Amino acid sequence: MPTKIKNLGVCNFDSPLHDIGGVEVNFRRDSERVLYNHVLDLDAPVVNVASDKVLSFEVAGPRKRIYFDPARTTAGIVTCGGLSPGFNDIIKGLVTQLSSRYGVSRIYGFRYGYQGLVQSLGHTPITLKPESVSQIHIQGGSILSSSRGDQPIEEMVDTLEDMKVDILFVVGGDGSLKGAERIAEEVERRGLKKAVVGIPKTIDNDIHYIDKSFGFETAFAEAVKAIRGATAEALGAPNGVGLVRLMGRDSGFIACYAALADGNVDFVLIPEVPFALEGERGLLEALRYKISKKRSAVIVVAEGAGQELMEGYEEFDASGNRRPREIGTFLRDKITGFFKQRRVELNLKYINPSYLIRSVPANAQDNVFCQYLAQHAVHAGMAGKTGIMVGRWHTSYVHLPIGFVTGMGRSIVDVHGELWRAVLEITGQPARMT
């Protein structure tokens, strides 16, 4: 079964989670599964849902027996990749659950992403206690800081050995999770008994087999504020255009959800849907028509949209992710030039709130979501599960093999699905601009 979870061995210790304030703990079993496809077709042949051929995921949650002795366990936490709302919530949730519920007293925070696991780089780990993280959820960013890029796997595992770390929690996106998988593989190659547990972080919400990633709801809620500012600017001048560039290298989820939440966007441009600039079906003519009718327009563009329209070499960041060419300023200049050439007055305001969005504290919904993810990650780690990530699927929390998820590439907006259809309906933009 491709979703089978690796375990370090036999669980010989009773869980300390006997009850919570007099309420009995609902211990879960490894045999409990959540189906990938939750839709039942009554006209289809009956399928044996217990079959290995039916894709399903192991249910997350506390186990009655655990692998690690809490009194002798040392845990480590590392945050990797670009900033996202919720990093500090995850850190607080991990520390609180490890310390207060399981009684783990040695918890290290490795600073500056995977660099913190390379001793020669000189980033001294910090000791994390519940009292030291009690208020960090109201701060943006990560108290451990972060970084991008690969580091020597052997040296990182050496550090885990030197510091006697039993469980490593990796909080990061696709590239960071691949790094976590490689760490788990090196640990296994050496015959070590260490668990590696990932918590998926991608502000673009583009990881497969999870309902959403933490920080996403905060991100599109903050994006709505930028769109409303752009709308005010567009309405405040003759032939006003508000152009907002949002995150989304390969996937347009933030742009779509923000446009739906705002309700006043005229054009949404995402990487999944190519568009032309010129011609009677192109964006520029569609925009001219919109302004002639409304006297204003608001455009939301994801950073990865329209890449085929621009010249220049592709660049990559330190993690190997494609760095999109700057579509926002490209569109700004093209739109301005188009109307100037036709001697039509235009007042365009360009807004790029990306780094402001990334650095804000998580909102209330993400606060709660992060706590669930952190708690389930600790349950998994203490039970000796390794090479996994925790996520939510069909509102249930599950364990997923890291390699199974990252091997699927990026999750993208289904241009034939409900989300994109809803965007087209609320914007009224042409289904095709090519």
DSSP assigned state of 116: G
Of these residues, 204, 206, 262, 266, which one is catalytic? 204
Q: Which two structure tokens, joined as six digits, stand for 344? A: 């039509």
CA distance 167 to 401: 16
Query: Is 150 designated active site?
Result: no
* CA nearest neighbour of 118 among 153, 82, 73, 77: 153
CA distance 148 to 115: 9
Within 10 angstroms of residue 238's Cβ, the number of other Cβ atoms is 10
CA distance 179 to 193: 18
61 by Cβ neighbours in 10 Å (0-12 / 13-18 / 19+) ranks as: buried
Q: Which residues pair with 57 in a beta bridge?
A: 34
Within 10 angstroms of residue 422's Cβ, the number of other Cβ atoms is 14
* CA nearest neighbour of 73 among 169, 145, 174: 169
∠ CA 127-132-135, nearest 5°, is 145
CA distance 380 to 92: 17
* Residues involved in catalysis: 204
